[in-house]
């Protein structure tokens, strides 16, 4: 049998031994516990399973250590054998004790099966393991001998091959040395012929090179003169083209400047027309007295007359428009008025100052909201929209200038 087959048999023995041991231990605990409980004083019946568990633990120790000792090829001696037989006899006595006290000989026979089977299995398993260990040792020795023989044969074969290789190498070196001598002689003769041929070729090439150098010098001089004439002609053409392009660019710039001036004049006329239209509309609106916001003032200030501003709240100014549409319509008027304002600071323009058409309070009123909403919400929103409008317009004009250039 091979080593793998022997180890498979050993695994089968191990599995069977532990199966029998587990069954016997479980059966022993279930059988011995009632016997121990019957001889235990009242109140201590819960200790009955301890005795069979202790005996079974000794059985497990014996089976496991016997397996290890047999694998190591040793002999456990007297005390392990005594423990093995003592645990077996104790297990047998405890298992048949209850039936023997009641003179139930059939029960004695039945309960003796598991302990006896455990005892015999432990002894037989020990013998099996020793035999298996001896077989494995013998197989290992045979394998070592076979490997030693193979190593010796391999070493001898290598020595023989090395000797043959050395003889072949010596013969090859001798042949190579003779070939090198012959090749060197042939190379010397070839070198002499090659040197003679090269000397003749150099002399011929030198004569040809002198002739070619003279011819190239003449051609180079002619080519230089021709290139100088072509460069002068090309420079004249480039100057004429540059003058035409400069004249064309000036005409285009003049035309672009004229178009920008015309566009600026048209926009200025449109702004002036819008200012006149708004001024006319403002003058046509009825005037009402709007009291100043109530605030605490000094007695001297109370004597001043209330400020009169022009009403810009038209009953039908944004009739039918949604909230967003009304804001956009009023913003367009606000934007056009600010574009047309002659003041650098829009807040100094009478139209944006308190009481003007486009102050925060009147913006809120024109949208149907309160003064506070106009100052806190509408006016800041229109300022933000106007900043975005100016930024977009400046970017567009810059693109037009770049395109015109």
27-59 pLDDT per residue, tens: 777 677 777 676 666 767 676 677 777 777 777
What confidence score (pLDDT) does residue 56 get? 72
Tokens 């806190």 sit on residue: 376
pLDDT at 45: 63
Q: Which residue has the higher pLDDT, 388 or 21?
A: 388
**315 falls in which pLDDT band (50, 70, 90)?**
very low
Residue 169 reports pLDDT greater than 50: yes
Structure tokens that stand for 182 in this block:
């012959």
Q: Would the pLDDT of 297 be above 60?
A: no
Helices (H), 72-104: 78-101
- The whole-number pLDDT of residue 292 equals 40
Name the pTM for this structure.
0.28
When pLDDT is averaged across residues 66-84 and rounded to a whole number, the result is 67
pLDDT band at 115 (very low <50, low <70, confident <90, very high): confident
Round the average pLDDT of the chain to a whole number and report it.
77
Kindly state the tokens that stand for 357.
């058409």
Q: What is the DSSP string of 302-367?
A: HTSPPP--B----TTTTTT--HHHHHHHHHHHHHHHHHH---SSGGGSTTTSTTSTTSHHHHHHHT
Cα dist from 161 to 103, 151, 152, 168, 173, whole Å = 86, 15, 14, 10, 18
Collect all residues with Cβ–Cβ distance below 8 Å to 289 and sequence separation of at least 6. 306, 308
Largest alpha-carbon pair distance within the chain?
145
CA distances to 177, 180, 270, 348, 354 from 282, rounded to whole Å, are 123, 120, 18, 19, 16
Q: Which residues of 14-47 are buried (b: 16+ CB within 10 A; e: fewer)?
A: eeebeebbeebbebbbebbbebbeeeeeeeeeee
What CA–CA distances, in Å, run from 108 to 28, 61, 156? 13, 26, 71
Residue-wise DSSP of 235-254: HHHHHHHHHHHHHHHHHHHH
Q: What percent of the chain has pLDDT over 70?
A: 72
**Rounded mean pLDDT of 297-310?**
37
Rounded Cα–Cα distance for residues 163 and 230 (Å): 84
């Amino acid at each position: 049998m091979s080593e793998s087959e022997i180890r498979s048999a050993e695994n089968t023995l191990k599995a069977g031994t532990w199966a029998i041991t587990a069954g016997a231990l479980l059966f022993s605990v279930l059988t011995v516990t009632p016997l121990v409980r019957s001889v235990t004083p009242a109140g201590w019946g819960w200790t009955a399973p301890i005795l069979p568990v202790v005996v079974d633990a000794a059985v497990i120790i014996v089976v496991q250590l016997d397996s290890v000792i047999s694998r190591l090829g040793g002999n456990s001696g007297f005390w392990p054998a005594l423990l093995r037989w003592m645990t077996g006899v104790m297990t047998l006595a405890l298992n048949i004790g209850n039936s023997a006290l009641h003179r139930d000989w059939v029960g004695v026979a039945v309960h003796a099966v598991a302990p006896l089977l455990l005892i015999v299995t432990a002894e037989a398993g020990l013998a099996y393991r020793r035999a298996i260990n001896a077989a494995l040792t013998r197989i290992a020795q045979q394998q070592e001998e076979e490997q030693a023989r193979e190593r010796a044969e391999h070493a001898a074969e290598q020595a023989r091959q090395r000797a043959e290789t050395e003889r072949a190498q010596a013969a090859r070196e001798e042949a190579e040395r003779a070939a090198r001598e012959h090749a060197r002689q042939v190379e010397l003769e070839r070198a002499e012929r090659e040197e003679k041929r090269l000397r003749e070729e150099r002399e011929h090439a030198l004569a040809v090179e002198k002739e070619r150098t003279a011819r190239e010098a003449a051609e180079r001089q002619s080519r230089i003169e021709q290139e100088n004439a072509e460069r002068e002609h090309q420079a004249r053409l480039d100057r004429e083209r540059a003058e035409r392009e400069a004249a064309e660019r000036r005409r285009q710039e003049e035309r672009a400047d004229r178009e920008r001036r015309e566009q600026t004049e048209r926009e200025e006329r449109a702004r002036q027309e819008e200012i006149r239209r708004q001024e006319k509309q403002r003058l046509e609106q009825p005037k009402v007295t709007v009291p100043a916001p109530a605030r605490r003032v000094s007695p001297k200030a109370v004597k001043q007359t209330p400020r009169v501003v022009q009403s810009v709240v038209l009953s039908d100014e944004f009739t039918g428009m949604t909230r967003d549409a009304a804001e956009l319509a009023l913003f367009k008027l606000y934007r056009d008025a600010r574009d047309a304002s002659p003041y650098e600071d829009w807040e100094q323009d009478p139209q944006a100052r308190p009481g003007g058409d486009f102050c925060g309070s009147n913006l809120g009123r024109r949208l149907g909201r309160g003064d506070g909403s106009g100052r806190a919400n509408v006016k800041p929103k229109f300022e933000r929209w106007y900043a975005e409008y100016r930024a977009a317009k400046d970017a567009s004009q810059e693109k037009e200038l770049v395109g015109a250039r």
